[in-house]
Structure 1
Amino acid sequence: MTEIDTSPLVLHGRRRSVARLRAGVVLLETGGVRHRIPVAAIARVDVTGPGGRVLTVVVATTPTDSVTYSLTSRSAPAVRAFAEAVRRALPVRDADEPRPEVSAEPVERRGPYLGYAILGALVLTYVLVAVVLVNRGAGEQAVVYWLVGPVLTGAGGTALAGGVRTVREAVVLRRRGITVEGRRERSYEVGTGEDTVMHHTYAYVDALGKARTRSGPQGGADEVDILYDPEDPEGTTKVGHGTAGHLALGLFRLVLGVSTVSAGLWAMGVGTVALLR
């Protein structure tokens, strides 16, 4: 198999959905159904949605009609990499040339993941402790602390993980980043209503001469500097050549995350002490 025929990339999405490119066919499992989409039937592949985390495969059923298949992932770089792999596999076709059909088959459901079982146990414990505190008359303050504690801990953990990732990216880019010129290809809106954010896609050529793109809310000018990690060009890029702001944002998230996690654990501790009395 050549790179055109298959790709080692696996794109995981929400609700156990997954996409693979195997022997000229995109295998998209979502909603309990496995769709076999021949690349010869694909009209185009788009990266859409908030933060560019939605892979959209447009299949031309007739010269005027089309059907779309989509998968939402947590990783925007993974979506972009998978979309590029599919685009490289697309053949050159005439508009009126017959296209192969998409087939679908049910996917056998496996048992729940261990993570779901653990999450369910934690939620059950969370509710049961609150009920016991109320029944034992531990006091409104102890109940509120227990209910708020896990929420703060979860939010702080998310901020902490984001801070670690942002600081790591800043350090990596500062240590081995390469700056090239990027030219804006297009700008588009992400979200709806008051949540609408303008995103920009920049095209650039890396140090090895390979054409790449970078999408996100940063930028807006027709030409910008693109700073990228040559060892991870799809995953670690930013608009602009400086890393001070990126590092400051990461440190802010770290401080916020540590503070919020500490407050959450303290609140849970108050509730636990009241439970053990």
Structure 2
Amino acid sequence: MTEIDSSPLVLHGRRRSAARLRSGVLLLEQGGVRRRIPVAAIERVEVRGRTGRELAVVLTSNDPCPAAPGHSLVSRSAPAVREFAEALRRALPARDATEPRPDGASLVSVEPMERPGPEPRQVALVALGAGYALIAVALVARGAGEQAVVSWLVGVPLVLAQGVAALVGGVRRVRDAVVLRARGITVEGRLEYSYGTGSGEDAVRRHVYSYVDAHGVRRERDGTEGGAQEVEIVYDPGDPEGTTKVGRGTGWQLTGGVLVAVLLGLPMTLVGLRMAASALAALRA
């Protein structure tokens, strides 16, 4: 086994599947089970598919004409697949072409995974969606009037929800800026890799930086800021991976957060609340 037997990378796939490399073992979680695949059981790692979004591991075999047993995981991000594949390749043991191979399939262990329950956030979103739909149906059924129906259908999802999102986002930016200004620690960060998300006009380029905090712990920062090979990263020692910023200046972050909250989030929230209240008043009438 090589010295690089673990990786901080986590590759997420469809339907809550995921792959991790821990202590010389590839943990492949999919279909309600977790497969533990030792790197000694892996012959090679491949990136497949026309868009390069499939990670495939081919297991070793003592059969001179093997059928190439293996496992695969399809992700939404081709760059994430490439980076994980490279990390996994570095962990594979060096072998000679004539070296006997073990039966990789026999080294793989499978264990059932506990089915995760619904997250509180998901439950809240479903409840809000159901309540929104029921009120819309009740407004139509009671003949509350076109203005009330439009106020509810437009005011809640397009005005109130967007306003609350902008208000929360702006307050969060202000909070992070204040925290970093008060107790932030500046360290040097190095670019590990960049990747794109979305397509067309929604395409966004993100950059993953690694840094070592004041206690010698290696951490990563994933965000849209940056792009240079070496940058300065400011982090909150109380939340070293959650509250971080590329670059030392927090003035623009603080100003931008205030402007978004005050000029966009707060007015939209108030207008949305007024539209929702008028629709509910028509329902009670």
Moved more, 106-115 or 221-230: 106-115
Gaps of 5+ in 2: 1-9, 46-52, 61-67
Equivalent position to 2:150, from 136, 141, 144: 144
Q: Corresponding residue for 1:68?
A: 73
Say if 1:155 and 1:126 are closer, same or farther in 2 by CA, change over 3 A: farther
Q: So what's the TM-score if we normalise by structure 2? A: 0.64
Within-5 A mapping of 1:1-277: 17=16, 26=27, 28=29, 33-38=32-37, 40=39, 58=55, 60-62=57-59, 67-68=72-73, 93-94=93-94, 99=104, 100-101=107-108, 103=110, 114-115=123-124, 118-119=127-128, 121-132=130-141, 135-136=142-143, 138-151=144-157, 152-255=159-262, 256-277=264-285
**Does the residue aligned with 1:242 lie in a helix, a strand or coil?**
coil
Q: TM-score, normalising length from structure 1?
A: 0.66
Shift in Å at residue 128 of structure 1?
Answer: 1.9
Q: What is the distance in 2 between the residues matched to 1:121 and 1:194?
A: 32
- The answer on whether the counterparts of 2:136 and 2:149 sit within 8 Å (CA) in structure 1 is no
What amino acid is aligned across from residue 173 of structure 2 in structure 1? T
For 2:149, give the aligned amino acid: V
In 2, distance between residues paired with 1:213 and 1:106? 28
The change in CA–CA distance for 1:116 and 1:263 in structure 2 (over 3 A counts) is closer
Report the 3-state secondary structure (helix = DSSP H, G, I; strand = E; otherwise coil) of the residue aligned with 2:228: coil
Residues 16/157 of structure 1: CA separation in 2 closer, same or farther (3 Å cut): farther
C-alpha change, 1:17 and 1:119, in structure 2 (3 Å) is: farther
Are residues 122 and 206 of structure 1, via their aligned partners in 2, closer, same or farther at CA, if it must alter by over 3 Å?
Answer: same
Q: d(CA) in 2 for partners of 1:194 and 1:187?
A: 18
Aligned equivalents of 2:75, 2:284: Cα separation in 1: 50
- Please report how far the alpha carbon of residue 145 of structure 1 lies from its aligned counterpart in structure 2 after TM superposition: 0.9
Q: Runs of 5+ in structure 1 lacking a partner?
A: 1-10, 45-55, 73-78
RMSD: 4.5
Q: Name the counterpart of 1:76.
A: none
Residue in 2 that maps onto 1:75: none
Matching residue's letter, 2:154: V
Change in CA separation of 1:264 and 1:37 when aligned onto 2, cut-off 3 Å: farther
- Residue type at the aligned position of 2:57: A
Indicate conservation of the 8 Å contact 2:14/2:75, yes or no.
Answer: no
Quote the offset at 1:174 in angstroms. 0.9
